[in-house]
Amino acid sequence: MVVATKPIRVLVGKVGLDGHDRGIKLVARALRDAGMEVIYTGLHQTPEQVVNTAIQEDVRAIGLSVLSGAHNHLFRRVLELLKAQGAGDIAVFGGGIIPDEDIPGLKAAGVRALFPPGTAMHEIVIFVKGLQR
């Protein structure tokens, strides 16, 4: 007997004032093409909006793209809100313009993976597939 597995549900989006979304749309398409259910929140989302949507949509992971320089605050705020709402098991990953010296602190705060510009889409897909419950 073959038991069908539910596809991984992933929320991707842009937090803060950053208006460039080409990269996150490419990530969304790659994840979708790999068989995942992808919810794209759009531009100019607050951490609160992202977390509320993630919980409502019962996602396994949140992928954020940050190019504005506010990555230290935005990633930590999302993690803080997830924990406060009892959803700390939702994995957070991201990418964008994040200086190398900021990566260890973000990972220590709980960001599971960070993908710099130019990362091959299959690397992101492999990471997310590894999150399957």
Flag whether pLDDT at 2 surpasses 80: no
- CATH number for the domain formed by residue range(s) 9-129: 3.40.50.280
Q: Looking up tokens 């320089």, which residue turns up?
A: 69
Altogether, the residues listed in the chain come to a count of 133
**Whole-angstrom distance, CA of residue 25 vs CA of residue 65:** 10
Place of tokens 């549900």: 9
Which has the closest alpha carbon to 27: 126, 133, 125, 130?
Answer: 125
The answer to whether the beta carbons of residues 67 and 96 sit under 8 Å apart is yes
Q: What is the pLDDT of residues 49-93, one digit of tens each?
A: 999 999 999 999 999 999 989 999 999 999 999 999 999 999 999
The mean pLDDT of the chain is 94
